[in-house]
Amino acid sequence: MECIIAVDPGREKTGLALLQVDDVLVRKQIVPTEQVGMTVKQLIEEAQVKGLVIRCLVCGDGTNHKRVGKVLEQIGRDVARSSKKEIDDTSQVSEISLAQEKNMSKDIIYIDKDKAEGKDRAINNDVAKDIGRRVIPIPVTYINESYTTEEARKRYWKYTKRSGWRRFVPTGMQFPPEPIDDFTAWVIGERYLHSMLEGNR
């Protein structure tokens, strides 16, 4: 099953949500922003153990998205390097044939099959020759997160039992008593999935 990891980036705390591409929430949480990289890596590793494939990292384009986005982009490259896929082609591969391959990410890292001092040597697309392995990073997509906080508040009250005086006050007049960044990440993830669905119609 393919999944995405959605991220609601913030200055101090960040919401995360792991969703299947069929719109099912697997997990959500809130972490300190400084721990986003480590936590996303853990989510990816846990997903892989369960046989889930991370298709994309989805980041809201609001507060602190540039800083968090760079962390996510690096993770996408690092995870790809740690899960290299062998290909059969041992001959030279032309840039034209590479460009014609379908569904290929623009950000593809080619690893030279020859090793320099025991380490793989990365070469870019312009000089991709004599390739032994092809690595496709996990892409990072940025989503417009306008009004996602409002949607997250509604969802919070939908899935959170109210008690005391809160039962008698309309939810539209209340603010959640705890952070809802994880619910916002959930909404961001769904927005991405719905946009992909619309694009495939």
Q: What is the DSSP letter of 102?
A: T
Report pLDDT for 109: 40
- Return d(Cα 189, Cα 23) in angstroms, integer: 9
- Return d(Cα 93, Cα 190) in angstroms, integer: 38
Report pLDDT for 200: 62
Average pLDDT over residues 44-52: 90
Report pLDDT for 201: 53
Report pLDDT for 157: 86
What domains appear along the chain, each with residue ranges and CATH number? Answer: 2-82+139-199 (3.30.420.140), 86-135 (no CATH)
- 121-180 per-position pLDDT tens digit: 444 444 344 344 456 789 999 999 999 999 999 999 888 877 777 666 776 767 788 999
- Return d(Cα 40, Cα 70) in angstroms, integer: 13
Among candidates 51, 49, 37, which has minimal Cα distance to 9? 37
- 8-37 per-position pLDDT tens digit: 999 999 999 999 999 999 999 999 999 999
**Whether the predicted pLDDT of 81 surpasses 50:** yes
Token pair recorded at residue 157:
């009250």
Report pLDDT for 159: 84
